[in-house]
Amino acid sequence: RKPNNFPPGPKWLPIIGCAWELRNLHKEKGTLSEATQELAAKYGSVVGAKVGRKLTVFVYGSKAYKELLSKDDLNGRPDDIFATSRTFGKRREQKKFLMHQLKEIGFHKAVLEEILAEQVRAIIHDIKKTIDDDGVICATNFFSVHILDTLHILMTGDTCGDEEMEELHKAMNSFAANILITGMLFSHFPFLRYICPDYCGYNTYVNIHKRIIAFISKKVKMLKEICGSQPSRGFIPAYLEKLNSVKGKSSFSEEQMLATCLDLLVAGFDSTCNTLGFVFLYLLLHPEVQERAQEEIESVIGRGRPPTLEDRTRLPYVECIVLESLRMFMGRALVVPRRAMKDSTLNGYFIPKGTILQGNARGTLLDESAGWENPEAFNPERFMKDGALCIPDNFIPFSSGRRRCVGDILARSNIFLIVASLLQTFNFRSLPGSPPKVDIVEGFTPSVKPFKAFVTLR
Ligand code: HEM
C-alpha cells in the first residue's frame, strides 16, 4: 500500500509496481531522463513510484532537487544487490580518504598540472600523426585512453603500459556501454539473477566488475612489492601506507581500497570522456564558437607556449565552453541514486526510510523553469556577464552537499586544458556533407552518438 502523503505518481500493480509503465515510457521517450521529465510534467516535480518491491521517488524541479541534495536524511547510497555485488557484499564508505588524496593533488597544483599537461601533449602528438594520414578522428573517443591514463596515474602513481591499457580500456568501455547508473533489471527484481542471469544483466554486471577488479588487484600486488622501498605518489601507495600504520579495528581494508579505486575509475572515466564528446559535437556544429575561442587564445597566449591552468581566468570564453558542455552533458543525466536513511520529507511529501531517490539533473540544468533561456541551445555566453565569468545558482553539474562529486577540480581542469590546448593547435571541422547530430546514447552516463571530425593544423 502507498504510505500516507507519499508523492503522487503512476498506479502500482502487484509484484512489479510501476515497472511496466516506466519501461514503456522509457521506450517511447528514448532516455530515462526524458521519461522521468514526462512523469514530472504529469505528477509534479516529486513523483512517487514503486519499482519491483522498492519505493522509488523521481525528483525533477530545481527546488526539489536542491532540497534532495541538501538533506542529510536522504543522502545514503543504495545498499541493494546492485550496490553490494560490486563491493564484496559490503557498502563502501571511504569518500573522506579519497577526497583527501585528490585534494592533495588539487592543492599541489603543480603536480596535477604536470600530469594533465603530459596527457595533453600525448593527445596532440596522436592527432598530428592522424593529420599525416587523413586527418579524420573519431571525436567521441579519441581522448578516452588519455583520460583513463590520468586516472591510472592518480590511482597507482604511474602511467599505464600499452598492453595493460588495452585491457583496462576494453573493460571500462564495456562498463560504460552496458551498465546504467540507475540500476538494471536484476537490481529491481533480484530473484531474476537465479532464473535468467544473462537476460537480467546480472552476469554482464558481475563479469565486467570482475575484470576491472582483477586489473586493480594486479596493480596492488605490484605496488605492495615496492611499498616503502621508493617514494611513490598515487592513491594505492597512500592507502597501503595507511593500512600499515593503522592498528586494531579500522574501516580501512584491502577490499575497501579496491572498491574505492573502482569508484574512482568508473566515476571519472565515462563522465570526463562524455563531456568532451559534447564539447567537440558543439564545436563542430558552431564553427563561430570555435573561432571566437581561438581568437581569445591567440590574443592572450599566442602560440609560443601551451595554455596552463593559470590561464583559466584569462580565457573566460574557453571556460564558458567547458561550463556549457558540462550543462549539456549533465542536463541529460540521472545522478547516482540516494537512499532515505530515516523517515523524512521532500517537497512536503512523506519519504519513508529506505526509499530510493533518483534525481534528474535535467530539471536544474536543461529546463526553462530553472532560469535557462532557450535551454537546448549551445550558448557559452550565457555564463558571461560584462566580459567576466558569471555562474548561475542552478549550475550544479557536480551536485552539492555531502555527496558532491570528489573529482570536480580534476575534471574541470582536465577538460579546460584539453580544449584550450587543442584549439590553440588545431581546427576541427565536420566531414563534408555529414555534420554530427545531437543524438543521445544512454549508458552509464549519457553520451553523443559517435561522430568523426576533420582536423587540420592551425
Ligand atoms: C565531467 C566530469 C564529472 C561530472 C559531471 C561528475 C559529476 C558527479 C555527480 C553529479 C556525482 C553525484 C553526486 C551526488 O550523488 O550528489 C558524482 C559523484 C562522484 N564522482 Fe564525479 N563527476 C565527474 C568527474 C569525476 C572524476 C574525474 C572523478 C574522480 C577522479 C569523480 C569521482 C566521483 C566519485 C568518487 C563520486 C561518488 C561520491 C559519493 O558517493 O559520495 N567524478 N560525480
pLDDT tens for the chain, residues 1 to 458: 899 999 999 999 988 999 999 999 999 999 999 999 999 999 999 999 999 889 999 999 999 999 999 999 999 988 877 777 665 555 556 777 787 777 776 667 788 888 999 999 999 999 999 998 899 999 888 899 999 999 999 999 889 999 999 999 999 999 888 888 778 888 888 898 899 999 988 999 999 999 999 999 999 999 988 776 666 678 898 888 888 887 777 778 888 889 889 989 999 999 999 999 999 999 999 999 999 999 999 999 999 999 999 999 999 999 999 999 999 999 999 999 999 999 999 999 999 999 999 999 999 999 999 999 999 999 999 999 988 899 999 999 999 988 899 899 999 999 999 999 999 999 999 998 889 999 999 989 999 999 999 999 99
ipTM of the prediction: 0.98
Q: What is the pLDDT of residue 277?
A: 97
Residue 255 lies in a domain: yes
Residue 366's nearest CA partner among 335, 334, 397, 328 is 328
Residue 37 lies in a domain: yes
Number of helices (H) and strands (E) in the chain: give both, helices first. Answer: 17, 13
Structurally, the chain folds into a number of domains equal to: 1
Say which residues have a Cβ less than 8 Å from residue 210's Cβ, sequence separation at least 6. none
Is the CB of residue 199 less than 8 Å from the CB of residue 185? Answer: yes
403 C-alpha vs ligand 1 centroid, how far in Å? 9
Say which residues have a Cβ less than 8 Å from residue 26's Cβ, sequence separation at least 6. 32, 35
Dihedral angle of Cα 270, 166, 129, 147, to the nearest 10 degrees: 30
Q: Where are the beta strands (DSSP E) in 327-446?
A: 338-339, 344-346, 349-351, 356-359, 384-385, 388-389, 426-430, 440-441
Residue 30 lies in a domain: yes
230 C-alpha vs ligand 1 centroid, how far in Å? 31
389 C-alpha vs ligand 1 centroid, how far in Å? 23
User: Which of the listed residues 96, 271, 395 should we mutate to test ligand 1's pocket, taking the one with most ligand atoms within 8 A of CB?
Assistant: 271
Residue 12 lies in a domain: no
Q: What DSSP character marks residue 449? A: P
Residue 152's nearest CA partner among 265, 27, 238 is 265
pTM of the model: 0.94
Beta bridge partners of 49: 56
Q: Which three cell numbers stand for residue 4?
A: 500516507
The CATH number that applies at residue 368 is 1.10.630.10
Encode 36-102 in three state secondary structure: HHHHHHHHCCEEEEEECCEEEEEECCHHHHHHHHHCHHHCECCCCHHHHCCCCCCCCCCHHHHHHHH
* Residue 336 CA, closest ligand 1 atom number: 15
Tell me how far apart the alpha carbons of residues 164 and 145 are, in angstroms, rounded to a whole number: 11
Tell me how far apart the alpha carbons of residues 223 and 310 are, in angstroms, rounded to a whole number: 33
Ordered strands of the 356-359 beta sheet: 46-51, 54-59, 356-359, 338-339
| Residue nearest (by alpha carbon) to ligand 1 atom 37 | 405
Instruction: Spell out the alpha helix ranges (H) of 160-305.
Output: 162-178, 185-188, 192-195, 202-226, 235-245, 254-285, 287-300
Residue 122 lies in a domain: yes
Is the CB of residue 241 less than 8 Å from the CB of residue 227? Answer: yes
> β-pairing, 384-385 with 344-346?
unpaired
Residue 11 lies in a domain: no
Residue 218 lies in a domain: yes
**Ligand 1 pocket at CB < 6 A:** 69, 77, 95, 263-264, 267-268, 271-272, 275, 326, 330, 335-336, 397-399, 403-407, 410-411
Residue 33 lies in a domain: yes
227 is in an annotated binding site: no
3-state SS, residue 426: strand
Residue 392's Cβ-count burial label (10 Å; 0-12, 13-18, 19+) is: middle
Q: Which domain holds residue 95?
A: 19-457
* Residue 361 CA, closest ligand 1 atom number: 10
269 C-alpha vs ligand 1 centroid, how far in Å? 10
User: Which of the listed residues 146, 321, 405 should we mutate to test ligand 1's pocket, taking the one with most ligand atoms within 8 A of CB?
Assistant: 405
